Amino acid sequence: MFGIDLIDAAFLPAAAIAALAGLLSFLSPCVLPIVPPYLAYMGGVSVSEMDRDGNARAKALLAAAFFVLGLSTVFLLLGVAFSAVGRALLHYQYLFSPLAGVAIMIMGAHFVGVFRITFLMREARVETGDRGGALLGAYVLGLAFAFGWTPCLGPILAAILGLAASGGDLARGAGLLVFYALGLGIPFLLVAGFFPQLKGLVQMMKRHGERIERISGLLLWTVGLLMVTGQFSVMSYWLLETFPGLASLG
């Protein structure tokens, strides 16, 4: 997968964490509440039409696919860029993992609420105009969302980019951000395609937004601690020793 050596890169646990981080980004208090209206707008339909009309859901699903493609474009480029920085500073790679771990632990404390990092609370949204119902507009909205929704995406995304930079491999960095994009994007597609069945679950998750945010923070803090203590590689070796078949994925 992506030509990555799992033993060398500890890619498998990092990829799993990246996908989970994407899911937690989706469930965060400032993303989940806007999902139904975003999907309806991009599909050129109303939320009520998504609830009762299969054709409306099909339009929203197609638009959501282009939205996720926009997200993935930005994340993929970021992954390659940060990995390139890590490769350029290859001589100092032994410092990257613990430094990235410390940064990730700080991000985790931000999410848990120990303190707040002010600049991560600013939004830099890109104005996309009135493009409802247009697939190109949905793609542009995906680009804008990835660039501008910093209060929710910023801390977790920064953590995944730190993992990408610490590896210093372009394919590995791109792979991590692909998994993050999948974790964030697939739920958009599921809600668009199965809105009547999932709207109750979406409402329930909204009510637990603060708890989800704290879980995100604890995940980040734990990942950072594993990186600082060098346990990420230990975890990778354990996975491959316990499940030898996983080596064939590399």
- Write out 137-158 in H/E/C secondary structure: HHHHHHHHHHHHCHHHHHHHHH
In a domain, residue 24? The reply is yes
pTM: 0.75
For 21-46, b where at least 16 C-beta lie within 10 A, e where not — what string?
A: bbbbbbbbbebbeebbebbbbbbbbe
Name the amino acid, one letter, at 227: M
In a domain, residue 1? The reply is no
Longest dimension (CA), the chain: 58
More confident residue, 141 or 29: 141
- pLDDT beyond 80 at 11: no
What's the pLDDT band for 189 if we cut at 50, 70, 90?
A: very high
In a domain, residue 6? The reply is no
**Cα angle at 16 between 15 and 20, to 5 degrees?**
115
Q: What is the DSSP letter of 73?
A: H
Tell me the C-alpha to C-alpha distance, in Å, between residue 194 and each of 34, 35, 41, 55.
16, 13, 17, 12
Residue 152's pLDDT is what?
60
**Separation of alpha carbons 221 and 219, rounded Å:** 6
Tell me the percentage of the chain whose pLDDT exceeds 70: 72
Residue 156: both structure tokens together: 């977790």
Residue 121's pLDDT is what?
53
In a domain, residue 3? The reply is no
Per residue in 195-236, pLDDT tens? 999 888 888 887 877 787 788 778 778 877 877 787 766 666
Per residue in 62-116, pLDDT tens? 999 999 999 889 888 888 887 777 766 666 666 666 777 787 788 778 777 776 6
For residue 136, count CB atoms less than 10 angstroms from its CB and return exposed for 0-12, middle for 13-18, buried for 19 or more. exposed
Q: What is the tally of structural domains in the chain?
A: 1
Sorted by sequence, the CB contacts under 8 Å of residue 77 that are 6+ apart come out as none
Domain of 16 in residue numbering reads as 11-249
**Separation of alpha carbons 71 and 182, rounded Å:** 10
**Cα angle at 216 between 247 and 2, to 5 degrees?**
30
In a domain, residue 69? The reply is yes
**Separation of alpha carbons 112 and 105, rounded Å:** 10
**Mean pLDDT across the stretch 181-189?**
92
